[in-house]
Chain A
Amino acid sequence: MTSVENTGNRRLTPEELERFGAEMDAIRQRIVADLGEDDAAYIRGIVKKQRTFEAIGRALFYLPPAWPLAVASLSVSKILDNMEIGHNVMHGQYDWMGDPDLNSRMFEWDNVCPSDQWKYSHNYIHHTFTNVLGKDRDIGYGILRMDEDQKWHPYYLGNPVYAFLLMVFFEWGVALHDLEVENLVAVRRTLEENKPLHRGIMRKVKRQALKDYVLFPLLTGPLAPLTFAGNATANLVRNIWAFNIIFCGHFPAGVASFSEEECEGETQGHWYYRQLLGSANITGGRLFHIMSGNLSHQIEHHLFPDLPARRYPEIAAEVREICERYDLAYNTGPLHKQLFGVFKKICRYALPDRVTSRAGQPAEADAGQPVAA
């Protein structure tokens, strides 16, 4: 386990945790009280842009020379739909608006994973038990070995290959995540338990495939093969982008994981502390933040998953300041640096601990050096 100590961080005393939690609560309350027209206008503006990119993308497939533009436009549409709109709306970030089209219970996104199943594994399991080994199934997604406390097995020699495949087929990975295949194999879960999920997945897969791989290609007549390839490419681009952004959320160097014992009877203050040390940010410009669904502010997202993501940049300044006062690391860095940390982890944990322990320890201390806030 990459314990808190291994990331170079200190443990807070119960009193400190309580004050720390109160400071985080204060940020939440201030933002909640301030929610209003600007937030509503922002998300509606993003929805309008997404719809426009989609319409342009679909239309440009009628112009074969514009094929790359069509793919780019459709890719942007799918990325916006899944990340800045879908992920955030389904977190309930805009439920306060009372608009059924932006309500977490009603929203469905443009990928093969049914929203209700995703909300269970993501909003509940992952966000409640973030980085708690044995509880958070997002540690390695049941496929990869991303933590030293996941027992090594020759299967994990394929870690980099599995990661690559997961990247290419990311939306399918997300859709199958809830079937808990790793638990089926370990006989901790039965096929019977998955039956109710199958129908939902199949229905969603059929609809997505019908639209992207049958109807829209057919509508372009003789250009159908090009449209088919274009739609597949747009889905691939979205898969690669989403995978990379999301893997930078919890797997870069310096991110801590926790044991179930550490989190027994956890206080609200410790929950915030765990969210902070279990997440990592990516630096970038405004456009980058929007295209990442503001998951480039993974720390703020995990502290306040139900606050509108457009608020994360403004919250970040305060969170950093609080981290400095408590002498806690605020893990952030440019995309290439965070990705390199993730890549190193994927490769290192492919091998058994004995091999990595000698070279690995100092390397970890080095890579684990958090960027000072």
Chain B
Amino acid sequence: MSLDLGGCLLRSRALAALASPHRVDHYLEQVNPMWAAHDVRARIVDIHPEVTAPGAPRVATITLQPTSTWRGHRAGQHVTVGIETGGGRRTTRVFTVASGEGKPGDRFALTVRAHDDADATPWSISKFLTERAEVGTLVHLSQAEGDFVLPDRVPEHIVLVSGGSGITPVMSMLRSLQRRTHRGRVTFLHWAPSAERQIFADELAEVARTGHGVDLHLFHTADGAPYLSPALLERLVPGYRDVPTWACGPASLIEAAQAAYAGSDALRVELFKPPRTTGVAGGEIAFTRSGTTTPNTGATLLDQAEAAGLAPESGCRMGICFSCTTRKTEGTVRNVLTGETSALPDEDIRICVSTPEGDCSVEL
């Protein structure tokens, strides 16, 4: 009760008026970064390696203690994570929550595979989390987002399909179901390159051993395991096209699943798509807000947006006034003033001095 009262006071309009034009959080964070009225931050409280096989990208589970402002998450949701990975720069990236559904303020865990983001300087956030981060590191968070979630009333029989690190949201669902003491059947199909690169190997072995209504099938493609196909599905889950299914993984797996469930509305998917970099010109530019796409000519994004009939805000057209600053959600751009390229996702760029290299999405 007293805690709630504190929260109400911190979020009151009166306090906001006193802090204006800054936010109450701007003052709280100076005293203790874990005090917040609206912002969500967390400290890393545990780092557990999942995959350390030589030659394979590292995978680690990072447990976070969030601020009291964290509203909890539903199984399958994701969160935007911002970390200073060095050089005074904060990078942000979206990760799925791997732990079972959690209440406001509860600890939760992310399972992260190290990716080489083209030229993320100096560290990609996933590499930083799996190789560099330490217990106590502060991270900036959004609230949990996404509608790739289990319904409140879980159907009698469900199918979970995942590939590679796409296992995390599905694992969160499985863990939640086990905690909810779900009495129905769960068929869980997972594809991984090999047994050594299998995430959550011990926990999955435990699930397979105890059963508890979970019918687990692991496919290691290096060992010649079959890929997802209608025939395989029909053999494991007769009448699968009518069974509610959640699938998450690389594009090839999702495409195979979509083909197998064509015409059925039982399938829900979550897809992780890496951007293509094709060189200076070439590729396609997506202006996400207006829904326009245009072939990349290699000119500045501002010129290309105007050529596509858009009228983005702009000023000096020489990179000094920042009027045209726009969020690039993915793709590589070259700054024509410095010659530097950047492939960071969700980055603010001045479109008057940025030329895209290959595919690029900007919020215009």
Residues of B within 8 A of A109 (CB): 21
A10 to chain B, nearest CB (A): 25
Give Cα A341–Cα B82 distance, bound, in whole angstroms: 49
Give Cα A305–Cα B315 distance, bound, in whole angstroms: 14
Task: Report yes or no: A128 in contact with B321, Cβ–Cβ below 8 A.
Answer: yes
Give Cα A37–Cα B90 distance, bound, in whole angstroms: 11
9 pairs of residues in contact across A and B, judged by CB atoms under 8 Å: A35-B88, A36-B87, A37-B88, A92-B322, A104-B325, A119-B322, A124-B323, A215-B18, A306-B322
Binds A, one of B22-30, B180-188, B223-231, B277-285: B22-30
A39 on interface, CB distance cutoff 8 Å: yes
Give Cα A96–Cα B86 distance, bound, in whole angstroms: 12
Contact flags (1/0) for A185-229 with B, using CB distance below 8 Å? 000000000000000000010011011000110010000000000
Given A39-B88, A104-B325, A108-B22, A306:B319 Cβ within 8 A? yes
Residues of A within 8 A of B86 (CB): 37
B91 to chain A, nearest CB (A): 6
B288 to chain A, nearest CB (A): 17
Count how many chain B residues have C-beta atoms less than 8 Å from C-beta atoms of the other chain.
Answer: 34
Chain A interface (Cβ within 8 Å of chain B)? Answer: 25, 28-29, 32-33, 35-41, 47-48, 51-52, 55, 91-92, 95-99, 101, 103-105, 108-110, 119-120, 123-124, 127-128, 204, 207-208, 210-211, 215-216, 219, 268, 271, 305-306
A83 to chain B, nearest CB (A): 15
B53 on interface, CB distance cutoff 8 Å: no
Q: Across the two chains, which residue of chain A brings its CB closest to B83?
A: A98
Residues of A within 8 A of B323 (CB): 119-120, 123-124
Chain A residues touching B, majority SS: helix
Give Cα A52–Cα B17 distance, bound, in whole angstroms: 18
B43 to chain A, nearest CB (A): 18
Give Cα A110–Cα B27 distance, bound, in whole angstroms: 14
Task: Report yes or no: A95 in contact with B91, Cβ–Cβ below 8 A.
Answer: no
Residues of A within 8 A of B316 (CB): 123-124, 127-128
Give Cα A278–Cα B143 distance, bound, in whole angstroms: 48
Q: Across the two chains, which residue of chain A brings its CB closest to B25?
A: A101
Q: Across the two chains, which residue of chain A brings its CB closest to B344?
A: A98
Q: Across the two chains, which residue of chain B brings its CB closest to A125?
A: B315
Q: Across the two chains, which residue of chain B brings its CB closest to A103?
A: B348
Given A40-B88, A97-B88, A123:B322 Cβ within 8 A? yes
Give Cα A276–Cα B89 distance, bound, in whole angstroms: 31
